[in-house]
């Protein structure tokens, strides 16, 4: 991308849970925005968003709205991305897409800047932002690849905000109202719904194949692509919990050789984007409430498997709307405008 002092940045889906955080993150990280175009469906046009002390009015998305845009951050669902990304690219924008639409397209880079920033520079107009639960796993695993990543067993504890603002409101209402017919969880467009209040639901997104959900298979497919390790084995279980913000992951990593928790701790302590919080004697470990509002990935409960000196267990937490979505997308934009950091 040609260097400029300030860039025209569009956010599509600007009124959604992730879109709002994209706008906030652009401001907080002092991204060189010349003009911000907040875009959404016609239904949300006219909404006003705060940006750098002023108000930006949300416009209905149109091809013309992308004219002159340098970078377009998309977070409006896969079908919207498939419809609008080619048009935005035709107008000269680079699209950073938070949906699943392009993630597994071999011509589209799938980027976690701490892992494969360089890949972003090879884009052909679209760069994909990985799935939330994958991003934080990648930030913690990439620094450990020197030991040979062989197998990753993961059980997730995923916040409802991963399903959007509707789900956050629905969980609060379920808890406040007491019983009532559930209508939102685990998947809005599914015949059968399950209560989320005081519950955990072992289904995130729809079932795809062999008894696995799409969320689980994203962990498998996306991890291989981001780490560029086609032979990496990931065994996933994705579970929704009554948490508003922040995904947690219970992870067992098997390496090709013996590795101690001390080695893992030492490497992660100096790894980009990682904060090690790991002192059982002081009951110190990460949890969603402490990760809320941050861009880092927190790792704790680092310990040797009791039976296998090739395996280390850990607990990984990040804010799913920030590092898991908006923050990672803005980091990719930063790579584009400052390729020397890649």
Instruction: Check residue 303 for interaction with a copy of itself (CB under 8 A).
Output: yes
Cis peptide bond prior to 311, omega within 30° of 0 = no
Residue with Cβ nearer a copy of itself (3 or 192): 192
Instruction: Check residue 166 for interaction with a copy of itself (CB under 8 A).
Output: no
Q: Which stretch binds a copy of itself (CB under 8 A): 32-40, 42-50, 117-125, 203-211?
A: 203-211
Annotation marks residue 132 as catalytic: yes
Annotation marks residue 247 as catalytic: yes
Residue with Cβ nearer a copy of itself (47 or 165): 165
Angle between helices 113-120 and 132-141 (to 10 degrees): 100
Residue with Cβ nearer a copy of itself (62 or 284): 284
Sites for a copy of itself among residues 11-70 (CB under 8 A): none
- Give the bridge partners for 151, in sequence order: 233, 254
Write the secondary structure of the chain as one string of H (helix), E (strand) and C (coil): CCCCCCEEEEEECCCCHHHHHHHHHHHHCCCCEEEEEEEECHHHCCCEEEECCEEEECEECCHHHHCCCCEEEECCCHHHHHHHHHHHHHCCCEEEECCCCCCCCCCCCECCHHHHHHHHCCCCCEEECCCHHHHHHHHHHHHHHHHCEEEEEEEEEECHHHHCHHHHHHHHHHHHHCCCCCCCCCCCCCCCCCCCCCCCECCCCCEEECCEEHHHHHHHHHHHHHHCCCCCEEEEECCECCCCCCEEEEEEEEECCCCCHHHHHHHHHCCCCEEECCEHHHCECCCHHHHCCCCCEEEEEEEECCCCCCEEEEEEEECCCHHHHHHHHHHHHHHHHCHHHC
* Sole binder of a copy of itself in the list 302, 326, 332, 336 (CB under 8 A): 302
> Site map for a copy of itself, 260-289, x if CB under 8 A?
-x------------------xxxxxxxxxx
Instruction: Check residue 313 for interaction with a copy of itself (CB under 8 A).
Output: yes
Q: Which stretch binds a copy of itself (CB under 8 A): 85-93, 133-141, 151-159, 266-274?
A: 151-159
* Sole binder of a copy of itself in the list 23, 112, 234, 333 (CB under 8 A): 234
Instruction: Check residue 151 for interaction with a copy of itself (CB under 8 A).
Output: yes
How many chain residues touch a copy of itself (CB under 8 A)? 59
Instruction: Check residue 230 for interaction with a copy of itself (CB under 8 A).
Output: no
* Sole binder of a copy of itself in the list 200, 260, 269, 338 (CB under 8 A): 200
* Sole binder of a copy of itself in the list 157, 164, 214, 329 (CB under 8 A): 157
CA 188: distance to chain centroid?
Answer: 20
Instruction: Check residue 252 for interaction with a copy of itself (CB under 8 A).
Output: yes
Instruction: Check residue 165 for interaction with a copy of itself (CB under 8 A).
Output: no
Nearest to 39 by CA among 63, 10, 68: 10
* Sole binder of a copy of itself in the list 201, 204, 264, 274 (CB under 8 A): 201
Instruction: Check residue 224 for interaction with a copy of itself (CB under 8 A).
Output: no
Residues of this chain that bind a copy of itself (CB under 8 A)? 151, 153, 155, 157, 175, 186-187, 190-192, 194-195, 198-203, 207, 210-212, 220, 233-235, 237, 239, 241-246, 248, 250, 252, 261, 280-289, 300-307, 311, 313, 315
| Residues noted as catalytic | 132, 247
């Amino acid at each position: 991308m040609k260097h400029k002092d300030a860039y025209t940045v569009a956010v599509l889906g600007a009124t959604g849970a992730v879109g709002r955080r994209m706008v906030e993150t652009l401001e907080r990280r002092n991204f060189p925005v010349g003009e911000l175009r907040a875009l959404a469906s016609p239904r949300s046009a006219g909404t006003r968003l705060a940006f750098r002390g002023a108000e930006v009015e949300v416009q209905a998305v149109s091809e013309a709205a992308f004219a002159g845009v340098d970078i377009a951050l998309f977070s409006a669902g896969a079908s919207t991305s498939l419809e609008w990304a080619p048009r935005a690219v035709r107008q000269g924008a680079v699209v950073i897409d938070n949906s699943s639409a392009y993630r597994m397209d071999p011509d589209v880079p799938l980027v976690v800047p701490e892992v494969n920033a360089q890949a972003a520079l090879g884009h052909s107009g679209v760069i994909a932002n990985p799935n939330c639960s994958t991003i934080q796993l990648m930030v913690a695993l990439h620094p450990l690849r020197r030991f040979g990543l062989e197998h990753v067993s993961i059980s997730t504890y995923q916040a409802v905000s991963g399903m959007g603002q509707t789900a956050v409101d629905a969980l609060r209402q379920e808890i406040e109202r007491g019983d009532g017919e559930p209508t939102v969880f685990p998947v809005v467009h599914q015949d059968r719904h399950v209560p989320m209040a005081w519950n955990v639901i072992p289904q995130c997104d729809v079932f795809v194949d062999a008894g696995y959900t799409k969320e689980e298979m994203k962990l498998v497919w996306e991890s291989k692509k981001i780490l560029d390790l086609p032979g990496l084995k990931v065994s996933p279980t994705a579970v929704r919990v009554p948490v508003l913000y922040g995904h947690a992951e219970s992870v067992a990593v098997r390496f090709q050789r013996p590795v101690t928790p001390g080695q893992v701790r030492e490497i992660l302590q100096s790894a980009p984007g990682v904060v090690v919080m790991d002192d059982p004697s002081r009951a110190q470990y990460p949890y969603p409430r402490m990760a809320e509002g941050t861009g880092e990935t927190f790792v704790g409960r680092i310990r040797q498997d009791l039976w296998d000196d090739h395996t280390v267990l850990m607990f990984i937490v990040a804010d799913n709307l920030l590092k898991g979505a908006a923050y990672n997308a803005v980091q990719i934009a930063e790579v584009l405008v400052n390729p020397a950091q890649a």
